[in-house]
Amino acid sequence: MRIVVAVKYVPDIHADRGFEGGRVVRRADEGTLNELDENAVEAALRLKEALPEAERETSEVIVLTVAGPDADGAVRRSYQLGADRGVRVSDDAVAGSDYFGTARVLAAAVRRLADEAPVDLVVTGMAALDGLGSVVPALLAAELDLPQLTLAGKLEVEGEPGARTARVTRELDGVEEVLEAPLPAVVSVTDHANDPRMPNFKLIMAGARSRVLDASPRPPRPDAEIVVDKGEGGRALAEYLIRNDLV
């Protein structure tokens, strides 16, 4: 089985982020592997580990990222975790590309890998915690013309080599779905799917089909009015809501 895991470098969500000239600015030293991609790497490693030994030895987990050389440390890190290969696609035209551009470049890279030997599964995280569009996996499936099984809380792969199906269970907005598709397919996993073993990445993205007109930090909220409960805290809360027409 050959599994490609698409991962992304993002700014640390605990660090300051902002805009400059219509582009997201990120400081290199604040980059991390998008936390939610750890679940994707984990899912791929577990699928490989569950294979019978003979097949496992010929199977490959390939970590794919679109980023500059500063991402190499993280690609190296993915070897330590058990990935067999790391591929970094670097293209200046890609820096600052939008969802569509990102999906197109990832798709081209997956096709290149599939030219070497068939790719059975492409796994991604559910969203990048920076852009939080969570639409790249669906676009990647569209680009590759493969079935999409996204936002999986559970992923199972069944069947014999060459005739496998992936089955995912997902629960979204009160709708529980079980979806199934023959491989090859594009799967995105949520952080419910597993408990990952790892950490470190980074990349860039902003708008192209839409253009940023104006980006401004929201004014900080004024300091909170703080009441210490000495028996009347609940009443004070209720009165605050009533006074501000919030009931």
Ligand X SMILES: Cc1cc2nc3c(=O)[nH]c(=O)nc-3n(C[C@H](O)[C@H](O)[C@H](O)COP(=O)(O)OP(=O)(O)OC[C@H]3O[C@@H](n4cnc5c(N)ncnc54)[C@H](O)[C@@H]3O)c2cc1C
Residues forming contacts to ligand X in the complex (CB under 6 A) are 35-36, 191
Q: Judge contact between 17 and 26, C-beta under 8 A.
A: yes
Q: Which stretch binds another protein (CB under 8 A): 40-48, 59-67, 84-92, 209-217?
A: 209-217
**List 4, 75, 126, 193, residue binding another protein (CB under 8 A):** 126
Please report how many Cα atoms fall inside a 13 Å half-sphere around the Cα of residue 1, on the Cβ side: 32
Residue among 36 and 203 whose Cβ is closer to ligand X:
36
**Least CB distance to ligand X at residue 86 (A):** 22
Q: Does 246 bind another protein (CB under 8 A)?
A: yes
Within residues 24-53, the interface with another protein by CB under 8 A covers: 36
Helix (H) or strand (E) holding 75: helix 72-80
User: Using alpha carbons only, how large is the chain's radius of gyration in Å?
Assistant: 21
Residue among 54 and 246 whose Cβ is closer to another protein:
246
Give me the phi and psi of 201, to 5 degrees please. -145, -170
Whole-angstrom Cα distance, residue 129 to residue 125?
A: 10
**Least CB distance to another protein at residue 85 (A):** 27
Helix (H) or strand (E) holding 47: helix 35-49
Q: Does 227 bind another protein (CB under 8 A)?
A: yes
